[in-house]
Amino acid sequence: MVYEKGEDVEIQIPERMNIAEILIDENVRKGRGEKVAVRCCGDASLGIDKSEITYHELMLKTNSAGNSFRKVGLGVDDRILMIALDTPEFLYAFFGAIKIGAVPVPVNTMLSSDEYLYYLNDSRAKAVVIHANLTEKISPILDRAKFLKHVIVIETEKFSASKDQLSMQSLMDDSSEELEPLKLSKDAMAFWLYSSGTTGLPKGVVHLQHDMLYSADTYYRHVLNVSERDVCYSVSKLFFAYGLGNSTYGAFRFGAESVLDPGVPDPEKSFRIIEDYRVSILFTVPAFYNRMLGVENAEEKFDTSSLRVCVNAGEALPAVTYQKWKERFGVDILDGIGTTELTHIFISNRPGRIKPGSSGVPVPGYELRLVDEDGKDVPVGKPGKLLVKGDSIAAFYWEKHEKTKKTFLGEWFDTGDMYIRDEDGFWTHVGRADDLIRTRGLWVSPVEVESALLKHPAVELCAVVQGYDENRVGIVKAFVVLAQGFSPSKELEDDLKNFLREAGLKGYKIPESFEFVSELPMTATGKIQRYKLRLLERERAFGSK
């Protein structure tokens, strides 16, 4: 049977705790108060200046934010939706909320008004913290946000709060910098993230006070060996589980420095950040590594000598990407897998133990199993559904009882990922147990894309599945049966992309590849068999073995 347990590790989790105090205030008590905790790159287009914040300043600012929330009537277990860019204010709001027992809920900053309305009502958020340049996204839906009482705006030099909004800076200026963090049960709610599926609405993933501590003391301590000498830079944003760990608790737990970029990721800018801030650990996803590899002579134009290790998650890193990066920059990329529900990475390659193309081996503190459709263990070398056990697993999906029962299996979590474990102990991702598509580190629901495509007059039938580009990086792939009177052409592909863009689909959801076919594989009852198309695409990219 395929079962494996990572090395045993001793993790001290207090019965009563406040994770914000452990991650921030403890650094001050340990004498790191004047050490820089955060540097922000700034963004002139948004009016966001460069800045640096010490651990002592971070403690005082989070205290002010916590007191600000209390001042407007927020308290224990009250949800605060966060639509915030990667700036120090994100950290003040996130950890300030946790310090008073409130529950921050960061969400994607690139969504539509209707999507934000769903998050506001589903979470029953009493307040939203939002960057001023994004307020136009929520203005049209405020009268339908049933539980919302306060809009708290992070102002910049170019964007300000309106009369009916609260200024976060003004609230903090009028609030005390003294705050005793509220210690709750280690199993009290601390923060939520949202996770999407192939069908249905996004799920609120409820994380507890101890989850970040467990992830820090397993992955960041025993795999990355983070120390106060490190400078961490995550291209993936703070509203992702991946980015949140990289830029906050993974660094703060060990007194390291975190670099935040509030702007849109750009490969050349990322190289400049590495050089200017002497980054030692880079975190991003396969598509962005390939974009960075596309920068001509980058190894000569930029000084990357400060890098000691690079990290990949979000989707599997192609072996060719690892090899090209290693050849050009002389630094390993440690590929791994994590999920929103597990808080962070639980399988990873390790320094000195790397197998390109695999996710690696279990992170210390986690246990893995592979099972078949009936829940029975599968042998080594055979694919199975991945189950994982570890104390950073979320408590449940908010008000999604049936989905919770099917996914949270006692102490085990059903990841929905299909894996193979080889004789050497490396675990390799072979696909999803469902139809969800992974691209650019984001999940895409095929149902949403198909529904939009079917509105085009040229489309009779379609199926959207996980595809791969020439570098074997995941993309959105559409198989299309054309309506009578239409013929395949490059012009039609461009028209379909424009049509989806005009329909409001985000860029990462628009298929990068179209294949026009005469028919789609279907069951006897008329259901499209997407899994056959997924297998076809995987064989094309990786071969039949």
| Structural domain contains residue 195 | no
- How many structural domains does the chain have? 3
489 in a structural domain = yes
Does 196 have pLDDT greater than 80? Answer: no
**Strand 367-371 relative to strand 3-5, pairing:** antiparallel
- Per-residue pLDDT at 199 exceeds 60: no
CATH of the domain at 70: 3.40.50.980
Task: Choose the final residue of a domain: 383, 410, 433.
Answer: 433
Q: What are phi and psi of 270, to 5 degrees?
A: -65, -40
> Which pLDDT score is estimated for 12?
93
Q: Is 201 a member of any domain?
A: no
Q: What is the DSSP letter of 410?
A: T
Determine how many CB atoms are found less than 10 A away from the CB of residue 149.
13
Q: Tell whether the model's pLDDT for residue 545 goes beyond 60.
A: no
Structural domain harbouring 459: 437-542
Residue 100 lies in a domain: yes
What integer pLDDT is reported at residue 198 of this predicted model? Answer: 45
Instruction: Indicate the Cα dihedral angle 106, 107, 108, 109, nearest 10°.
Output: -70
Dmax over CA atoms of the chain, in Å, equals 74
Assigned domain for 407 exists: yes
410-433 pLDDT, tens digit per residue, is 999 999 888 999 999 999 987 776
Same domain, 177 and 223: no
134/118 same-domain check: yes
The answer to whether 226 touches 210, Cβ cutoff 8 Å, is no
At residue 279, the pLDDT reads 98
| pLDDT for 371 beyond 80 | yes
- Looking at the fold, whether 279 and 364 belong to one and the same domain comes out as yes
Q: Which amino acid is present at 411?
A: E
425 and 308 within one domain: yes
The burial class, CB within 10 Å (0-12 / 13-18 / 19+), for 27 is buried
* Residue 146 maps to a domain: yes
In a domain, 33, yes or no: yes
- The Cα–Cα gap between 166 and 72 comes to 10
Same domain, 51 and 65: yes
**What's residue 97's pLDDT?**
98
The neighbouring-strand residues paired with 153 are: 130, 167
For residue range 457-495, what is the model confidence (pLDDT) as tens digits? 999 889 999 999 999 999 999 999 998 899 999 999 999
Kindly report the CATH number assigned to the domain that includes residue 322.
3.40.50.12780
pLDDT(108) > 80: yes
pLDDT at residue 443 greater than cutoff 80: no
